[in-house]
Amino acid sequence: MQLRTSIALNYASQLYVTLLAVALVPVLERRMGAEAYGLVAFFSMLFAAFYVLDLGLTPMVQREFARMRAQALSPLDFRRIWRAFAMVFAGLATAGALAVVLLADALVRRWLNVLELPHETASRAVALMGLAVALRWWSGFHRGAVSGGEHMVWLPVFNALMATLRFPGALLCMHLWGYNVTTFFVFQLGVALLEWAWLAAKAHTLLPQVEERLGWSLAPLRPMWRLGVAGAVAAATGALLMQVDRALLSGRLPLGDFGHFSMAVLVATMVMVLSAPISTVLMPRLARLHAEGHATDFLQIYRMGSRLASALAMGGALTLAFCAKPLLTAWTGEADWAMQYWPVLALYALGYGFWAMGGFVYYLQYAHGELKWHAWGNAITLVVWSLMVWWLSEWGGVLAVAMGWAVLTGAYLLLWAWLVHARYMPRVHWAWLWRDVLAMNWPVLLGMLLFSLLGWEPQSRRETFAYVWLVGGVLMALNMAWWAWTERRHWGRWLQRAK
């Protein structure tokens, strides 16, 4: 399947999943109450933080599958590596689930600021979410095999189906049995179990058949220990980096206020959704091209993916920042709430845009099988960000934290990406930053200026919805039209050189 077709399918699935989740958040908050939704927000944070246990294993599974398809790894060696990975994932998932279940009461009583919900109900919800999160994380192991095999039609359809069960299905379940946190998390556990079983069955159909005995041993992982250690540090610090602000603020803010903050950040994470399908398709393709020694194709695909990600992710970040206030007003129907949190949404959206583009240096290192620089970058950024959150939340609250996130991620894109490019692609960084990242977004900036000069002020909620859709659609259309024109020019020059 062509690279662009795979990316398009993944985008359709990711956008559907994200829009579905975002659209139903206000419904959940109104039906369950602000404090109960705070537990749902904690569930999302716990799921993301659980990837500390991943230790870089899922990308390694994906990479080894791609290397086997490029005939750089024999089917027998891959099956033994797969068996060893399966043992590690099963053990970590079980340990993580037990830890959350045993610590559920302590988390509710000593960390979460529960004011209205009964402590027993909240503790039961935390225990259920621990089991559900462990199963969903374990499913990522099997998803890595499907992705590494580049089965990019089945996976987006499956993800969309699971999202439909997870969100509208939960509302239907609570409509029948009551809008309470116990019903919600019991249903989430059931969906997580179905997802795990289905993905496991699909992954096993893709494994190569071998006649030799595989055995039960972790020895096949020893040759990858250097990559594994670097990947483990990178994955753990990366997961913590994405959640340390919410982890610290969940203990400092009342549970209801934490839920509102999480809602604003949830909308901002749509920027990451715009870049995620590109990484899903690009990472195994780059790994295969590097294994096959196609350096020219490798560079071309890398820069093409960067331009597309910039047009979508950075363009989406700027659009969200520009439409933050009317978007929150239309989404929640609460003008006072939107007035308080729209700067948080705008600044986090910009930060996620910078971070999405900074992720390309990770794809570069992943393809080369060297994650040492990525581990160091994540570790340094995590330490700096943790100190910033601790100090900024005391000094200026959530708005100061949002400002710090935008500044930190911008510095990462400007400086750390330069260091990594200098290591793997000398003399590429500044051309990449200007031509493939920044220059892709001048149409959306021009559109923002023109709409600002018009000075439109929607009055009703319906008019606000229409304003957001119109302005957002026009800004993104301008950016994508510019991307399509520049991409045609780039490919034309490349084909001429190839001839």
* Sequential DSSP letters for 133-177: HHHHHHHHHHHHHHHHTT-TTHHHHHHHHHHHHHTHHHHHHHHHH
Residue 424's pLDDT band (boundaries 50, 70, 90)? Answer: confident
Q: What is the pLDDT of residue 131?
A: 92
pLDDT of residue 7: 63
Rounded Cα gap, residues 377 and 83, in angstroms: 31
pLDDT at 373: 84
Tell me what the mean pLDDT of segment 62-85 comes to: 73
Q: For 453-464, write each residue's pLDDT tens digit.
A: 887 777 777 888
Residue 73 scores a pLDDT above 80: no
Report whether pLDDT(411) > 90.
yes
Read off the pLDDT band of 407 (50, 70, 90): very high
> Alpha-carbon distance 70 to 93, whole Å?
30
Read off the pLDDT of residues 198-212 as tens digits, 9 standing for 90 and up.
988 887 877 767 766
Per-residue pLDDT, averaged over 421-441, amounts to 88
Q: Place 497 in a pLDDT band, splitting at 50, 70 and 90.
A: very low
| Cβ contacts of 193 within 8 Å, gap of 6 or more | 135
pLDDT of residue 484: 86
Please state, rounded to an integer, the average pLDDT across all residues of the chain.
Answer: 80
Read off the pLDDT of residues 473-483 as tens digits, 9 standing for 90 and up. Answer: 899 999 889 99
Residue-wise pLDDT tens digits, 374-389: 888 888 998 999 999 8
Region 76-85: what's the mean pLDDT?
78
Q: Which helix (H) or strand (E) holds 314?
A: none
Q: Is the pLDDT of residue 74 over 90?
A: no
Q: Residue 425: what pLDDT?
A: 85
**Which carries the bigger pLDDT value, residue 360 or residue 366?**
360
What is the mean pLDDT of the segment spanning 156-175?
Answer: 84
Q: What is the pLDDT of residue 170?
A: 82
* Whether the predicted model's global pTM rises above the 0.75 cut: no
Q: What is the pLDDT of residues 17-30, one digit of tens each?
A: 777 777 777 777 77
Six token digits for residue 271: 């920027």
CA distance 409 to 271: 14
pLDDT, tens digit (0-9, with 9 covering 90-100), for 102-126 = 988 888 887 776 767 788 888 888 8
Cα 487 to chain centroid, rounded: 26
- Mean pLDDT is lowest, of 65-69, 311-315, 363-367, 478-482, for 65-69
Per the CB < 8 A criterion, the answer to whether 234 and 56 are in contact is: yes
| CA distance to 105, 114, 117, per residue, from 34 (Å) | 21, 11, 11
Contacts of 94 (CB under 8 A, 6+ apart): 134
- What is the per-residue pLDDT across 172-185, written as a single tens digit (0 to 9) for each? 888 888 778 888 88
Structure tokens at 344: 């948080």
**Percent with pLDDT over 90 in the chain:** 15
Cα 37 to Cα 28: distance, rounded to the nearest angstrom: 7
Evaluate if residue 55 carries a pLDDT over 60. Answer: no
